[in-house]
Structure 1
Amino acid sequence: MREKTEVLVVGGGYAGVMAANRLTKRDDVAVTLVNPRPTFVERIRLHQRVAGTHDAVVDYRDVLARGVRLVVDAAERIDAPARTVTLAGGGSLGYDYLVYAVGSGSADPGVPGAAEHAYPIASLEEAERLRPVLEATGPGAAVTVVGAGPTGIEAATELAEQGYAVTLVCDVLGPYLHANGRRTVAARMARLGVTVLAGPNATVTSVTPEAVRLADGREVPGAVTIWTAGFGVPDLAAHSGLATDPVGRLRTDETLTSVDDDRVVAAGDSAAPSDLPFRMSCQAAGQLGAIAGDTVLSRIAGTEPAPVALAFAGQCISLGRGAGMFEFSRRDDVPVGVHLGGRAGSRLGAGVKELVCRSTVLMLRWEARRPGLVRFPAFVTDPRRREVLRQRSVPAPAGAASA
């Protein structure tokens, strides 16, 4: 009887679960998923966990294919030459192929006092740590949110809707949004009573238990400071001697295959294909997980994997439980300035946001039941990405001056 090909998926977020489910398409592949937690975390709902409006977790039995073995443990080191992974709980797991999908988390703030006095919410454990602190202060308390990406905006509006006195401190409000989208977000925040401090002078220089200090000398008092500025990735790849980009993401080619080892494939926030990583998001993670799974399946079959091609539809942001916004984008993730939201469309935007949250879990369930079912448009291409890669490969003209 032919032995099965052992594939180990490290990380059980959107990318890891999608990859694991896709890999069960072949009966001769044994898939093991290693994850530190026994439940799947809906990361895009963690701000709701903080606000107490959703628990943000799903049983793995609801999203993982039956053939996937779940090992609840953390990976400490990858020995690529030996094809083994050392686990924090002791022992190790071998593999024929490895999918590196460790995701992202809170970045080191690098600001005095932030690590001691601010509360990040990039993980389930961080959200659980913050929730009782907010409950102890109660509605009406002053809360400062640092950072105005999707997490910061959603946390600020959710808490303001519950009666907290929220101040949002940032460089740019919604840096990934079109100017039209930013105006909609700002208007909604004004209606909720959120104070927005933005610009270079609003750079945080230190955090104390009672306040946030800004570059222009201002102090923003607050009972709680929530830190949402920036994401980092685990150092597992670097610690294991694999090539990473400056942020720590695993460096791969366009098929998501490690530049060091063709038995290691990356997916999600922790992947840096051709040193042109995609924006960290669940929208990218799910697609990258499917592509990573397809790459491994192609290598097992002895065929050439297809290059990465992602299809972005837009960015969806909740603005409290009763409002939201969906901003349309080009397929390469560039906003086009058209969105659902504003005073008239805010409830529709909230409905779209909830639909997006539910659909991300539904896609994992569909893939678990029928591996290969979740397919993204075959016509998807990214001309700008292809042009950047082409320019990189063009040799310099003869006699060109060197830098």
Structure 2
Amino acid sequence: MSTEVLVIGGGYAGVMAANRLTLRADVTVTLINPRPDFVERIRLHQLVGGSHDAVVPYRKVLAERVRLVVGTVTGIDSAGRGVTLTTGDTLGYDYLVYAVGSGSADPDVPGAAEFAHPIATLEDARRLRPVVDAVPTTAPVTVVGAGPAGIETAAELAEEGRAVTLVCGGVLGPYLHPRGRLSVARRLARLGVTVLEGPGARVTAVTRDAVRLDDGRELPSEVTVWTAGFGVPDLAARSGLSTDALGRLRTDETLTSVDDERIVAAGDSAAPSDLPYRMGCQSAVQLGPQAAQTVLSRIAGERPATVDVGFAGQCISLGRRVGIFQFARKDDTAISLYLGGFLGARLKEIVCRSTVWQLGYEARKPGVRTWWAKDAKRREKLTAEKLTEAPVTAEQAA
């Protein structure tokens, strides 16, 4: 008898999980995703800048055995082991992989929801591109947010010759080592980007044609791009499952929901032991296969392994010709070493292409290869105290 596994979400984590699940011939895998194509979220700033469409056909990254259902899940019935789609259709499951990803956080700044343009999803980026095209090149553009999305978008638009101001609300590139941060600041300056950081550089209001800061300044802005913060869909919370403060599904260290051992989470929407990993494709492509392995272990009657994720750093494009790769320890702590300039740009492009290649490789040869240095010892140290205080897990409650 075949085991039915549903994967909700066709991003980096969901695709990796679906592909890994095909290791067993007796598992039927269905991937539910709102779009018919895979979205390269790490290229959305290029979509806004007009240099890439940021989509890849699923046939290039998804195993042939995986059934793709284009639709949106509106509810999870954990007791009945089923999900409901916006169409009213229902799908049953034996196991569910929750990989709904992340999007823009709802901004709590007055006027931001009405007049600022988010960039966290394909639809956001597609709506923003014609808005940018419609204003003169000399029109002031404000990008709010000092993380990779903000930096990359500001650089992409400035390279087109646009007048861009990057409002950091704090420090430029919080993840970066001071040496890497200085390199990024110099590149942005060469592109003509005005960087506002430190005290007073926090947005307090957005209007149709301006951005107000908490030090009283008002910046003219014909287009305001909002990249500050990420949020996750509220599907888990609406379905009565336990979530953290941001809405991520709470799991144990095997990525299993604390409420139900038939539900496993991966990617940006997972909060293992209330110590979630940094949101991004680097953690997602590792969490996806591990979530699948948890499901496969349970089908085989084996004890699932605990999560083990390691990091290499962070790469940021600074236009099409320059970039930076900020090296880090396996625990995701930036170090002084970085690679910049043309080589940094080439490495960023290699990372983008290799990420899609990894998805395709997993589709063709599930479980054959691993790509990342692990960091199990630090994770064990971080979770030791928290796990002793954690609520009862699904396995313990069963």
TM-score (norm 2): 0.96
- 2:317 is the alignment partner of 1:359: no
Structure 1 residue runs without a partner (length 5+): 396-403
1:164 corresponds to which of 162, 165, 170: 162
2:167–2:195 CA contact under 8 A, matched in 1:
yes
1:331–1:382 CA contact under 8 A, matched in 2:
no
- Of all paired residues, the percent bearing the same amino acid is 68
- What SS does the corresponding residue of 2:200 show, helix, strand or coil? helix
Q: CA deviation at 1:188?
A: 0.3
Q: Distance in 1 between matches of 2:387 and 2:7?
A: 32
**Match runs of 1:2-401 below 5 Å:** 3-170=1-168, 171-341=170-340, 346-376=341-371, 380-393=374-387
- State the AA in 1 paired with 2:347: V
- What corresponds to 1:400 in structure 2? none
1:33–1:70 CA contact under 8 A, matched in 2:
yes
- State the AA in 2 paired with 1:355: I
- What corresponds to 2:394 in structure 1? none
2:253–2:272 CA contact under 8 A, matched in 1:
yes
Q: Distance in 2 between matches of 1:336 and 1:147?
A: 22
- What corresponds to 1:398 in structure 2? none
Q: CA deviation at 1:323?
A: 0.2
Q: Distance in 2 between matches of 1:367 and 1:246?
A: 33
1:311–1:376 CA contact under 8 A, matched in 2:
no
1:363–1:374 CA contact under 8 A, matched in 2:
no
After superposition, the Cα gap between the structure-2 partners of 1:394 and 1:293, relative to the gap in structure 1 and judged at 3 Å, is closer
- What corresponds to 1:399 in structure 2? none
1:168–1:196 CA contact under 8 A, matched in 2:
yes
Q: CA deviation at 1:393?
A: 4.9
Deviations 1:161-216 (A, max 9, x none): 00000000011100111111110110000111100011231110000011100001
- State the AA in 2 paired with 1:386: E
Q: Distance in 2 between matches of 1:381 and 1:360?
A: 20
Q: Distance in 1 between matches of 2:321 and 2:374?
A: 34
After superposition, the Cα gap between the structure-2 partners of 1:61 and 1:190, relative to the gap in structure 1 and judged at 3 Å, is same
- State the AA in 2 paired with 1:203: R
Q: CA deviation at 1:383?
A: 2.9
1:4–1:30 CA contact under 8 A, matched in 2:
yes
Q: CA deviation at 1:140?
A: 2.3
- State the AA in 2 paired with 1:287: Q
2:273–2:386 CA contact under 8 A, matched in 1:
no
- What SS does the corresponding residue of 1:202 show, helix, strand or coil? coil
After superposition, the Cα gap between the structure-2 partners of 1:261 and 1:393, relative to the gap in structure 1 and judged at 3 Å, is closer
Q: CA deviation at 1:391?
A: 2.5
Deviations 1:361-395 (A, max 9, x none): 00000000111123145x72343321122233568
Q: Distance in 1 between matches of 2:88 and 2:388?
A: 48
1:212–1:221 CA contact under 8 A, matched in 2:
yes
Structure 2 residue runs without a partner (length 5+): 390-398
Q: Distance in 1 between matches of 2:87 and 2:199?
A: 45
- What corresponds to 2:392 in structure 1? none
Q: Name the Cα RMSD after superposition.
A: 1.1
- State the AA in 1 paired with 2:374: V
Q: Distance in 1 between matches of 2:45 and 2:103?
A: 14
Q: Distance in 2 between matches of 1:290 and 1:348?
A: 30
1:325–1:350 CA contact under 8 A, matched in 2:
yes
